[in-house]
């Protein structure tokens, strides 16, 4: 009898030991994976993830464990690529298996309704949207939208004349209105527009909930996803983000759609999407999020980069002087720089590249996921592993960029490539990694380059940027944001370079005002050179 009792007692004890043993294995780094910081049971390296400035910790780990290292975040293996060559070898050359996104419960499923393009999983839907976006953002079509870029930039200059203290708001209006014109066909004349404010609030809130500790835990321990929502407040917050985003983006889309149907709409991306909606049977919500994702990307990153550029000009006045000397020599004092001046302003091209390198906006990239087991340099990269493009660390590598926190456009003096050419060239010569990699490379790169060139060249042509008297030099490493970041708001003096400069800007803006309705600020007629879309369901695009 005693013998039987011991046997029955031994079974649950044995089961308990097995369960405990397996539990203690959770969080351990599997054999063969790249090296990384020591793990602890259950959490792996999760307890070492910082709440603030994670890019700095990722940089330290790269210095300690090498350009390719691994983290165990709970149950999830994560591979961190901190070298240009590794990004090229895996995300570019093996894009077929490295183009997925991790399953992001809060960021994608709850806060985006599975529609937000930047975090959408790789598959048929993503490939269809990729083809659509390529059709409306390729370099030939993008050139048609230069009239929109020109007008919005001139309005930006007028804003800096009238209210220079509102620099950040003027830059945001510029990038937002440019995006709404290209995407929907309408302008945003005033930075106080509630739709503009709602967009940036939506992007910022989505970034915060996506980067929150709760979002990470929910992805790493799926049981959290099944808990009542009152126990996981971030879920309720993410639902609100989705409701606001869906209303905003679908509303924009439906308005543009109606305008195109009744003949009042202007050439814009929605032309192609309307044709595609019919052939591909896309819902209004799905199309709304496609255009919303484009609006987010075009508005947020461009404005953040321009804001960083003005900060650099204030902190490094010798760079500002050199850039202005080139502009004065090539363009002269009698006209504004134009898009056609770009090839003749190599130092401004270098400023574009250096700003993107010096102050990356997507500081840790958007994570990829590998869809099958792979190996790299003898290491195992398991199926489903998250793969991080460690943008900050690559940009701050002193071997690539000596004195990386110094703003030095001359480091690109021998690089005549466009941003797109550089992104597809040799990895060690690539100028920046802001626009992603492989099949996830941002297709708005051509438009972004023109917008940045016009913004930088014209601001320096028309204004002197300096540090206000009696103020401390801003901390260039003080960044705010979530998935995307920008410098913390700073004080700056922006003054016109001459009375002639003021007159030329005023005249240019008046010429623009003649093209738009005085009450609404919208275009009176289709700008010269603009074309409606030409989406074809059988368009052959490599995806």
Binding residues: 442
CB 203 within 8 A of CB 175: no
What tokens were used for 278?
């019919």
For residues 401 and 394, what is the distance between their CA atoms, to the nearest angstrom?
A: 9
H-type alpha helices, 40-193: 54-65, 84-87, 95-98, 111-112, 124-137, 139-142, 146-162, 167-184
The phi and psi torsions of 387 (rounded to 5 degrees) equal -125, 120
* CA trace torsion 88, 443, 391, 117 (10° rounding): -110
Give yes or no for a contact between 137 and 444, defined as CB atoms under 8 angstroms apart.
yes
> String of b and e for 218-244 (b: at least 16 CB within 10 Å)?
bbbbeebbeeeeeebebbebbbebbeb
Q: Are 114 and 120 in contact (CB under 8 A)?
A: yes
| Token representation of residue 37 | 């910081």
Look up residue 77 and give its DSSP letter: E
**Do 445 and 262 form a contact (C-beta atoms < 8 A)?**
no
Give CA separation, 70 vs 62, 91, 142, in Å: 10, 16, 39
Would you call 541 helix, strand, or coil by DSSP? coil
DSSP letter assigned to residue 474: P
Q: Where are the alpha helices (DSSP H) in 185-232?
A: 194-211, 213-220
Check: CB of residue 286 under 8 Å from CB of residue 129.
no
Tokens of 541: 């695009």
CB 175 within 8 A of CB 361: no
Phi then psi for 25, rounded to 5 degrees?
Answer: -75, -25
Return the residue matching tokens 């309307």. 274
User: Could you tell me which residues are beta bridge partners of residue 516?
Assistant: 523
Alpha carbon separation from 496 to 18, 39, 145, 168, 504 (Å, rounded)? 74, 57, 28, 17, 11
Give the DSSP letter string of 516-537: B-TTT--BSSPPTT-------T
Binding site residue list for heme: 442
CA 164 to each of CA 55, 303, 451, 516: distance values in angstroms, whole numbers, following the listed order:
32, 16, 20, 24
- Whether residue 117 contacts residue 440, with contact meaning beta carbons closer than 8 Å, is answered with no
Phi-psi region of 29 (alpha: psi -120 to 50; beta: other; left: phi over 0): beta
């Amino acid at each position: 009898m005693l013998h039987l009792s011991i046997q029955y007692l031994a079974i649950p004890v044995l089961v308990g030991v097995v369960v405990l043993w397996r539990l203690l294995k959770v969080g351990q780094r599997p054999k063969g994976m790249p090296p990384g910081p020591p793990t602890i049971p259950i959490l792996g390296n999760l307890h070492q993830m910082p709440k603030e400035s994670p890019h700095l910790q990722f940089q330290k780990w790269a210095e300690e464990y090498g350009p390719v290292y691994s983290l165990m975040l709970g149950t999830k293996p994560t591979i961190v690529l901190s070298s240009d060559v590794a990004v090229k070898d895996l995300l570019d050359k093996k894009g077929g298996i490295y183009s997925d996104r991790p399953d992001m419960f809060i960021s994608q499923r709850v806060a985006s309704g599975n529609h937000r393009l930047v975090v959408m999983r790789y598959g048929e839907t993503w490939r269809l949207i990729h083809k659509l976006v390529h059709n409306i953002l390729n370099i030939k079509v993008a050139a048609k939208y230069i009239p929109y870029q020109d007008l919005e930039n001139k309005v930006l200059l007028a804003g800096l004349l009238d209210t220079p203290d509102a620099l950040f708001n003027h830059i945001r209006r510029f990038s937002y209105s440019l995006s709404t014109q290209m995407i929907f066909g309408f302008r945003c004349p005033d930075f106080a527009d509630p739709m503009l404010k709602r967009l940036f609030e939506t992007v910022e809130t989505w970034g915060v909930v996506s980067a929150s500790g709760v979002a990470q835990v929910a992805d790493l321990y799926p049981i959290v996803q099944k808990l009542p929502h009152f126990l996981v407040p971030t879920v309720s917050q993410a639902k609100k983000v989705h409701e606001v985003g869906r209303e905003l983006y679908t509303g924009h889309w439906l308005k543009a759609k109606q305008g195109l149907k009744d003949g009042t709409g202007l050439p814009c991306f929605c032309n192609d999407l309307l044709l595609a909606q019919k052939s591909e049977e896309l819902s209004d919500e799905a199309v709304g999020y496609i255009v919303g994702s484009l609006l987010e990307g075009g508005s947020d990153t461009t404005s953040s980069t321009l804001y960083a550029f003005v900060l650099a000009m204030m902190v490094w006045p010798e760079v500002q002087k050199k850039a202005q000397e080139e502009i004065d020599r090539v363009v002269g004092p009698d006209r504004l720089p134009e898009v056609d001046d770009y090839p003749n302003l190599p130092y401004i091209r270098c400023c574009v590249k250096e700003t993107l390198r010096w102050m990356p906006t997507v500081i840790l990239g958007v994570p990829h996921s590998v869809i099958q087991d792979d190996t790299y340099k003898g290491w195992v990269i398991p199926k489903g592993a998250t793969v991080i493009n460690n943008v900050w660390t690559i940009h701050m590598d002193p071997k690539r960029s000596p004195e990386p926190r110094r703003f030095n456009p001359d480091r690109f003096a021998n690089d005549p490539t466009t941003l797109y050419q550089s992104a597809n060239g040799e990895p060690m010569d690539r100028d920046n990694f802001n626009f992603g990699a492989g099949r996830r490379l941002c297709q708005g790169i051509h438009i972004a380059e023109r917008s940045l060139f016009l913004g930088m060249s014209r601001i320096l042509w028309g204004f002197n940027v300096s540090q206000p008297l009696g103020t401390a030099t801003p901390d260039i490493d003080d960044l705010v944001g979530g998935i995307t970041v920008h410098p913390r708001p700073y004080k700056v003096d922006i003054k016109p370079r001459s009375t002639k400069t003021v007159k030329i800007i005023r005249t240019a803006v008046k010429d623009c005002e003649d093209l738009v309705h005085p009450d609404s600020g919208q275009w009176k007629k289709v700008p010269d050179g603009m074309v409606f879309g030409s989406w074809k369901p059988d368009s052959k695009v490599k995806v």
